[in-house]
């Protein structure tokens, strides 16, 4: 986990210092938390899916978190979340740490290490108790984008009798690790900014958001090949392999929640002018029936991933070195991970006591042949890109 001095911007310390003289004689502290134990198994020995294979595993999504909120004054508070995660692909430690200034009932400002508000469930993605699935649809919530940033946000909320609206703007940076393909790489995210609009009328909620950031991802093998193209006299093709670029994300979700049923949907599109950044178009549609303490739900999810097309200008047949360079470029382009996947999930949730729930989900996964489709393939000759994932989870909030 990154050092706390490096992950917490100095603005947070300045804020606390400026208002330390206004501290209450006895500041209020609220302690809350959540935990989940998730077991999963894939019914195919030829591949694994997001860490699950044909052996039962408890280590992919199980976690324990504690959140502490200290009220320094009537308007100022500091919040931190400590998280212990079972997966070796994710760090344990301080998940976020920020100061909040509640200027009025409508205006709120935050500064520190904050959660990136990409998607509908981003703010509480780790709190499995808060949504019907055991894991939200992988096609959207797949971890390609960074979970948090260091910066500030401002939000305004309007509340009427049957209508409410909220607008949030934010800006920040981040130097951390993120998942690209099958591995974790270092990333330098600069000028991350965006706007989130939320509207609720009675039981209907609409959320729209747009995000953009300048990203620099360390991919040495791609940078090395780009250098070879540059030396061979093909600067345009070398430039197309840059790992620096502006990434934009667009999101829309529409949810309807009634007492005995719900309908949820979300659409996400990510684009970039550079070749090595994937450009997914993803969505899900989910419906559920509530007969308390049970909830039965079904979800269809789909993703289509493409990359910017680059026309090769390397002439063939002139020299073996140029032929090898052209073949290398084609092989690199074809090796970029394409996560085209359709899935259907059926789940049952049992809220057996306040703050606790047992969930069971089974997902039928259909990937596209000869593409990654979120699978790690052990035997490509026998794997048919179809599998079933069974998960059981115990969720707890306190």
Question: What's the rounded mean pLDDT across residues 334-353?
Answer: 94
Judge whether residue 7 has pLDDT over 90.
Answer: no
What is the tens place of the pLDDT at every residue in 31-62?
999 999 999 999 999 999 999 999 999 989 99
Judge whether residue 6 has pLDDT over 50.
Answer: no
| 51 C-beta neighbours (distance < 10 Å), count | 15
Structure-block tokens of residue 247: 């990434």
With contact defined as beta carbons under 8 Å apart, do 179 and 143 qualify? yes
With contact defined as beta carbons under 8 Å apart, do 113 and 101 qualify? no
Confidence class for position 316, pLDDT limits 50, 70, 90: confident
Which string of DSSP letters, residue by residue, matches 138-162? TTTSSS-S-SEEEEEEEEEEEE-SS
Q: Which residues pair with 208 in a beta bridge?
A: 197, 252
What is the tens place of the pLDDT at every residue in 62-99?
999 999 999 999 899 999 999 999 887 777 889 899 99
Please give the Cα distance from 222 to 216 (Å, whole number). 13
Q: Which of 126-140, 149-163, 271-285, 373-387 has the least mean pLDDT?
A: 271-285
The confidence score (pLDDT) of residue 52 equals 96
Q: Which of 126-140, 179-193, 283-297, 310-324 has the least mean pLDDT?
A: 179-193
CA distances from 144 to 196, 257, 312, 333, 334 (A): 20, 29, 28, 19, 19
Among candidate residues 164, 129, 113, the one with its CA nearest the CA of residue 9: 113
What is the tens place of the pLDDT at every residue in 121-162?
999 999 999 999 999 999 999 866 788 899 999 999 999 988
Judge whether residue 296 has pLDDT over 80.
Answer: yes
The confidence score (pLDDT) of residue 4 equals 38
Please give the Cα distance from 121 to 117 (Å, whole number). 8
Please give the Cα distance from 262 to 363 (Å, whole number). 19
The SS3 assignment for 230 reads helix
The confidence score (pLDDT) of residue 181 equals 54
Please give the Cα distance from 363 to 351 (Å, whole number). 21
Among candidate residues 111, 52, 118, 49, the one with its CA nearest the CA of residue 76: 111
Please give the Cα distance from 256 to 273 (Å, whole number). 35
């Amino acid at each position: 986990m990154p050092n706390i001095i490096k992950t917490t911007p100095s603005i947070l310390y300045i804020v606390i210092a400026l208002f330390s003289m206004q501290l209450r004689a006895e500041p209020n502290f609220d302690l809350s938390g959540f935990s989940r134990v998730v077991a999963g198994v894939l019914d195919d020995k030829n591949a694994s899916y997001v860490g699950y294979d044909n052996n039962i595993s408890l280590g992919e999504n199980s976690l324990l978190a504690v959140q502490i909120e200290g009220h320094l004054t009537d308007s100022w508070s500091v919040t931190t979340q400590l998280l212990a995660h079972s997966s070796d692909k994710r760090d344990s430690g301080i998940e976020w740490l920020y100061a909040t200034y509640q200027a009025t009932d409508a205006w709120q400002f935050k500064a520190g290490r904050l959660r990136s508000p990409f998607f509908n469930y981003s703010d509480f993605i780790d709190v499995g108790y808060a949504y019907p699935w055991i894991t939200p649809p992988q096609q959207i919530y797949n971890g390609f984008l960074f979970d948090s940033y260091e910066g500030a946000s401002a939000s305004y909320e309007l509340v009427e009798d049957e209508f409410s609206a909220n607008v949030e703007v934010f800006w920040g940076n981040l130097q951390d690790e993120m998942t690209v393909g099958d591995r974790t790489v270092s990333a330098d995210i600069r000028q991350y900014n965006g706007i989130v609009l939320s509207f609720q009328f009675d039981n209907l909620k609409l959320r729209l958001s747009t995000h953009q950031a300048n990203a620099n991802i360390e991919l040495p093998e791609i940078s090395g090949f780009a250098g070879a193209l540059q030396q061979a006299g093909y600067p345009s093709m070398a430039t197309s392999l840059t790992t620096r670029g502006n990434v934009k994300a667009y999101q829309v979700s529409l949810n309807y929640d009634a007492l005995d049923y719900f309908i949820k949907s979300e659409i996400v599109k990510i684009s970039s002018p550079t070749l090595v950044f994937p450009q997914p178009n993803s969505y899900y549609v989910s419906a559920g029936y509530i007969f308390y303490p049970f909830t039965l739900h079904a979800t269809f999810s789909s993703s289509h991933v493409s990359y910017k097309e680059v026309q090769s200008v390397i002439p063939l047949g002139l020299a073996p070195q140029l032929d090898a360079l052209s073949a290398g470029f084609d092989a690199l382009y074809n090796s970029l991970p394409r996560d085209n996947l359709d899935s259907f999930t059926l789940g049952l949730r049992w809220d057996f006591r306040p703050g606790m729930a047992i969930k069971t989900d089974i997902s039928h996964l259909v990937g596209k042949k000869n593409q990654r489709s979120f699978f790690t393939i052990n035997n490509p000759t026998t794997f048919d890109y179809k599998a079933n994932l069974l998960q059981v989870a115990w969720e707890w909030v306190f």
